[in-house]
Each structure stands twice: as structure tokens, then as C-alpha cells.
Structure 1
Amino acid sequence: MEKQSTQIDEKIVKGRYRHFKGNEYEVIYIGRHSETLETMVIYRPLYGDGAIWVRPAAMWNEEITRNGKTQKRFEYIGKA
């Protein structure tokens, strides 16, 4: 499991991302869950109140299919 987590870490870099629904987010840190050691993405939306959110890295990197189109959930668009 640790090897997989490391590979996930390498795919996620700090910076701006666009969610498949169109909103933009900033990845601030990559962290680990204190109990499971699961890799987590710490991020904030670049709209609204800018609250801090956490999402499992595996979910951040996954591809989703919507309306017959497969795409990344979040796509890197550049440095913040």
C-alpha cells in the first residue's frame, strides 16, 4: 500500500486545479491520515469563503465518467 501512496503523491503537486464541473481550486499541501496513513490532499476553493478542505488523494486523482465522457476529476492548470 505504501508504494501506491507514494505514486499518488508524485502525481499531485501544489498549484491550481480545475474540477470537471468548472470551478478552480488550489492544492496547498499533501498530507497523511493519522490513523490509516492514507495520502490526503489539503486544498481550498478559489471562490466563496476559501475554506480549507481535505480529500483522499486516490479520489482526487480518479477519472470519472459523466454524460458518456471520461475525464480527470481535477486537472492541473498551473502554479498558484
Structure 2
Amino acid sequence: MNAAPVPGVYRHFKGKDYRVLGVAKHTESDEPLVLYLALYPVHDAGAIYGETPTFARPLASFQDVVEVDGERISRFRLIERD
């Protein structure tokens, strides 16, 4: 497993940027979750979350490698450390 992501700005492979706050522990399963904020307005997240919701993604999924146009790339890549 890769090291946990450091706080900072990450670019998703689809092009949008997110600020990683840190890694949290799921209270029921102990699964590590990456907490991050969208750095763009999210209009369809629902009223309870507002336009800049905090997301939680399993660490393993955050660190996934995806295939785009035949090339394997990281799902998220660090572009600026906090």
C-alpha cells in the first residue's frame, strides 16, 4: 500500500481539483478514509452538504490507478502541498 496522502491540492484524473484534509478512520469498520473538499461549486450535492461538500473516499480507492486512453494513471495526483 502507498503512503497516506499528505494535505494539499490534488487533481482528479477527470480534471477537477480537491483539497485533501487528511485521513480518517471509519468508526464501524476501521477502514481508512480520505477526507477532501471540492475546489469548485457542487450544485447537485444536496442541501445538507452545501456547495462545497466534504467527501470521504476509501484510501484504497483514492490511491487507485485508472486506465485512460490506454494509459494507466493515478486517480488523484498531488499538485500542491499545504
**TM-score of the alignment, normalized to the shorter chain, above 0.5:** yes
Over residues 26-75 of structure 1, what are the superposed CA-to-partner deviations in whole Å (9 max), with x where a residue is unaligned?
Answer: 00121011111110001111000211110000000010012211100000
The whole-number CA distance in structure 2 between the counterparts of 1:67 and 1:51 is 30
Runs of 4+ displaced beyond 6 Å: none
* Superposed displacement of residue 78, structure 1: 1.1
Query: Any idea what SS the aligned residue of 1:11 has?
Result: coil
Unmatched runs of 5 consecutive residues or more in structure 2: 42-50
**SS state at 1:58 partner:** helix
Query: Which one of 28, 39, 61 corresponds to residue 35 of structure 1?
Result: 28
Alignment map for 1:1-80 (pairs within 5 Å)? 7-8=1-2, 10-48=3-41, 49-80=51-82
Deviation at 1:22, TM superposition (A): 0.6
Length-normalised TM-score, structure 2: 0.81
| TM-score (norm: length of structure 1) | 0.83
Unaligned runs of 5+ in 1: 1-6
More helix by share: 1
Question: How many corresponding residue pairs?
Answer: 73
Identity %: 33
